[in-house]
Amino acid sequence: MDELRKLFFDDVWEEISKSAKSFPLSEIRIRVGKPIRCAANGKFVYVSKIASEKDVSRVLDVATGYSAYSASDAALKGYLHYYGGVRIGITGEGVTDGGKLMNVKSVSSLCIRIPTDAAGVFEKLADSVFSGGAVKNTAIVSPPFGGKTTMLRSMVRFASKTGANVLVLDERYELSGSGAFDLGENTDVMLGASKSVFFENVVRSMNPDVIAVDEIYAEREAEELVKIANSGIKIFYTVHGDSLKRLEFSDTKKLFDVTEVGILLTKIPSPGTVKEVKRFA
């Protein structure tokens, strides 16, 4: 929390602390000219402070170590990572050349996502995913902010406790929180690498029993996971969706043939609520 506090001027943090003192923060939205909004557990409150361009600049300066180059690079990617797995989404006025985004100026909005952990959220589902002691290829499906990363983290921790060697791709520094979250004694983490590098190089060299990957989107990513599953390595992965049928009818549908268990999460009444668990094989 101390590192999070550094992102804000004292008066802004004081307002945030007052408004959000009754629940742990999961998100802070800063929009120039509008009240700052804090959220947790599917609920939100507005801070009386109206955000200014200086407030936005303060967050970017601290998060990038006052590096103009880092701030520009982060704006092009649309986000940057901060201590403890905090991720800051960035929007503003895009500058393009030939249809390619070259720069983002006049940053006007920030979405600061604060990862949370929940010990034991997976244990009640363990019999489905670890049937007879054997790990199953498992997909976690949820809408955005539905708790899938928290559930995946809990699954990784549980698998590690069984003695399995678990290899995690933490592409955006959220699963491990850059070391802030315990993923188990038998877990190895690759930070910041792209999925293509992870699939092609890291998996082969680390010889894991299980791999865990957050947010599978593209067909090529699904194809790589299928290859890994067919080689005998078990897979845990997450996708966005509001139904387990999303696994059958999407760009990642090739994964469905090797997926053995699906877990559907919902945000109602709160993120991470298990709506359905289904065995496919």
Instruction: State the 10-residue block means of pLDDT for the chain, 281 residues long.
Output: 89 85 82 93 84 95 87 82 89 81 84 82 82 87 90 94 94 84 94 89 93 92 94 95 87 88 90 90 74
Reduced DSSP (H G I as helix, E B as strand, rest coil) percent helix, strand, coil of the chain, to 5: 35, 30, 35
Indicate the pTM of the whole model: 0.82
DSSP class of residue 114?
Answer: -
Give the containing element (helix H, strand E) for 40: strand 35-40
**pLDDT of res. 1:** 66
What CATH fold (topology level) applies to the domain 2-113?
Beta-Lactamase (3.30.450)
What CATH fold (topology level) applies to the domain 123-279?
Rossmann fold (3.40.50)
DSSP class of residue 5?
Answer: H
Alpha-carbon distance of 107 to 214, in angstroms, equals 27
Structural domain boundaries in the chain: 2-113, 123-279
**pLDDT of res. 183:** 94
DSSP-derived pairing of the beta strands 35-40 and 27-31: antiparallel
Torsion of CA 129, 133, 135, 141, to 10 degrees: 10
Alpha-carbon distance of 45 to 19, in angstroms, equals 7
**pLDDT of res. 22:** 63
Tallying the residues shown for the chain, one arrives at 281
**pLDDT of res. 68:** 76
**pLDDT of res. 253:** 81
